[in-house]
């Protein structure tokens, strides 16, 4: 059997798709080593993978990543994670490496190693071409190319150039959900469908009410984005409505001081895979991890995008008819309440989510990635 190395950082939605690949590889009796920040360790081991911590900073959980740029840039563009990766490749005799798309330094090390390599897009390709991370390239290019030069590699002029240096580029969405781009993606890009870790059958969701009540899951980012006021707005929107809601707050400091209606249960963490088969809608910040998990189960969503890639994800939810969007800046209790009511009562949203779920399943998901990696290593 083969040995695969997965390299990631803990920025919320970066973790589930990579661990889904790890699960699929270990299910086929391959050895998998996950290289990441210490906060990923328990989840990686639970997925059946060996875990090795990066010799770099962990991110603080009580501040936005945008306020931790020194740590973030060290992990994303610095040489340290790449040196860690090269040591693991040599020590484990790796057959292939899969690197999170943000980690340009680790991607450069994989390229320099001569090992087969793939880049995992935890966000849509458009994010790296036309919006958000694509717009950040001019600010990151110097640091990225400095690291590449230290590894004896030529400079790159865009994220697309970085991605083209690798054997595969995995887009963690079905093609029907992907956003059109001004620049055609490289031929190496493969749409995998949503990459969602398997649910643990031992997980039990909290009681969500009887058969005559609608059940709603509310999940904003697992990283701090200043979403506390938005979460309170959503709770106020649900207050007094004929629904039962579960809120996964993601961190204790987000739950502190919330006014929680009697029809809402708040938990720090509940695996979404245990909850989604039992809910009728999801209210989310539109991070791709939550959107992917929801649509994989055919559950429509109400998006309340804040920043980063979330507006694009919400745009795609609207485009495929799988939900509604209330931008965070327009999120009043009245607007959120109305959007939730429409999604719960209009079957077209459930139908749209189901169509995307079917397309995602047909793309093959993490099992298809594992099969492709096996073929890559022949």
229-245: string of b/e by CB count within 10 Å (b at 16+)? Answer: ebbbbbbbbbbebebbb
pLDDT band at 237 (very low <50, low <70, confident <90, very high): very high
Question: What does the pLDDT average to over 133-147?
Answer: 95
> How far from chain centre, in Å, is Cα 61?
17
Share of the chain above pLDDT 90, in %: 76
342 part of a folded domain: yes
114 is written with which tokens? Answer: 């001569």
Give this prediction's pTM. 0.93
Are 232 and 255 in contact, with CB atoms under 8 Å apart?
no
**One domain, residues 147 and 27:** yes
pLDDT over 90 (residue 29): yes
221 part of a folded domain: yes
* pLDDT recorded at residue 13: 87
Q: Tens digit of pLDDT for each residue in 141-155?
A: 999 999 999 999 999
Domain extent for 142? 3-191
Q: Cα separation of 375 and 279, whole Å?
A: 38
Which among 170, 172, 175 has a CA at the least distance from the CA of 292?
172
367 part of a folded domain: no
Question: What does the pLDDT average to over 226-251?
Answer: 87
**One domain, residues 90 and 182:** yes
Residues 159, 288, 122, 185, CA torsion sign: negative
Question: What does the pLDDT average to over 166-180?
Answer: 97
Total number of residues shown for the chain: 378
Q: How many CB atoms lie within 10 A of CB 253?
A: 12
**One domain, residues 13 and 160:** yes
**One domain, residues 37 and 139:** yes
* pLDDT recorded at residue 20: 97
Lowest mean pLDDT among 27-41, 185-199, 204-218, 244-258: 244-258
CATH of the domain at 67: 3.40.50.2000
**One domain, residues 281 and 182:** no
**One domain, residues 180 and 236:** no
Average pLDDT, the chain: 92
pLDDT over 60 (residue 251): no
> How far from chain centre, in Å, is Cα 273?
14
Most trustworthy range by pLDDT among 121-125, 226-230, 253-257: 121-125
200 part of a folded domain: no
168 part of a folded domain: yes
324 SS3 class: strand
Q: Which residue has the higher pLDDT, 59 or 113?
A: 113
Q: Using alpha carbons, list the distances in angstroms from residue 257 to 73, 131, 228, 231, 323.
A: 33, 35, 9, 11, 30
372 part of a folded domain: no
Q: Tens digit of pLDDT for each residue in 156-167?
A: 999 999 999 999
Residues 164, 166, 167, 168, CA torsion sign: negative
As beta bridge partners, residue 100 has 120
Share of the chain above pLDDT 70, in %: 94
Question: What does the pLDDT average to over 292-321?
Answer: 95
208 part of a folded domain: no
Question: What does the pLDDT average to over 110-135?
Answer: 94
Number of domains in the chain: 2
What would the DSSP string read from start to end of 61-80?
TTS-GGG-HHHHHHHHHSSH
pLDDT over 90 (residue 202): no
* pLDDT recorded at residue 107: 98
Are 124 and 134 in contact, with CB atoms under 8 Å apart?
no
Question: What does the pLDDT average to over 23-47?
Answer: 96
**One domain, residues 269 and 336:** yes
**One domain, residues 356 and 262:** yes
Q: How many CB atoms lie within 10 A of CB 56?
A: 17
């Amino acid at each position: 059997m083969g040995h695969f190395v997965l390299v990631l950082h803990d920025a919320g939605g970066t973790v589930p798709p990579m661990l889904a690949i790890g699960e699929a590889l270990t299910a086929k009796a391959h050895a998998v080593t996950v290289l990441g920040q210490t906060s990923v360790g328990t989840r990686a081991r639970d997925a059946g993978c060996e875990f090795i911590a990066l010799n770099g900073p962990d991110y603080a959980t009580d501040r936005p990543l945008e306020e931790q740029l020194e740590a973030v840039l060290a992990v994303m563009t610095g040489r340290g994670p790449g040196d860690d990766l090269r040591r693991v490749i040599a020590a484990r005799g790796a057959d292939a490496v899969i690197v999170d798309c943000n980690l340009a330094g680790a991607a450069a090390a994989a390229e320099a190693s001569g090992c087969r390599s793939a880049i995992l897009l935890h966000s849509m390709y458009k994010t790296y071409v036309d919006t958000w991370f694509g717009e950040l390239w001019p600010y990151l290019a110097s640091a990225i190319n400095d690291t590449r030069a230290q590894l004896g590699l030529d400079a790159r002029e865009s994220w697309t150039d970085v991605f083209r240096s690798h054997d595969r580029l995995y887009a963690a969405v079905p093609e029907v959900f992907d956003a059109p781009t001004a620049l055609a993606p490289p031929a190496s890009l493969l749409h995998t469908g949503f990459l969602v870790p398997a649910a643990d059958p031992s997980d039990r969701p909290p009681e969500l009410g009887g058969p005559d009540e609608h059940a709603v899951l509310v999940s904003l980012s697992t990283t701090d984005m200043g979403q506390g006021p938005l979460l309170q707005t959503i709770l106020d929107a649900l207050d007094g409505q004929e629904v039962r809601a579960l809120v996964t707050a993601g961190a204790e400091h987000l739950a502190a001081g919330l006014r929680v209606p009697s029809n809402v249960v708040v938990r720090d963490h509940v695996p979404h895979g245990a909850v989604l088969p039992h809910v009728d809608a999801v209210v989310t910040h539109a991070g791709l991890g939550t959107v992917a998990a929801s649509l994989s189960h055919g559950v429509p969503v109400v998006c309340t995008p804040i920043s980063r890639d979330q507006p694009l994800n919400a745009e795609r939810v609207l485009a495929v008819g799988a939900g509604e969007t209330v931008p965070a800046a327009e999120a009043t209790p009245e607007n959120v309440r109305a959007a939730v009511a429409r999604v719960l009562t209009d079957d077209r949203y459930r139908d749209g989510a189901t169509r995307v779920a079917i397309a995602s399943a047909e793309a093959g998901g993490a099992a298809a990635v594992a099969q492709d990696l096996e073929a890559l290593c022949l």
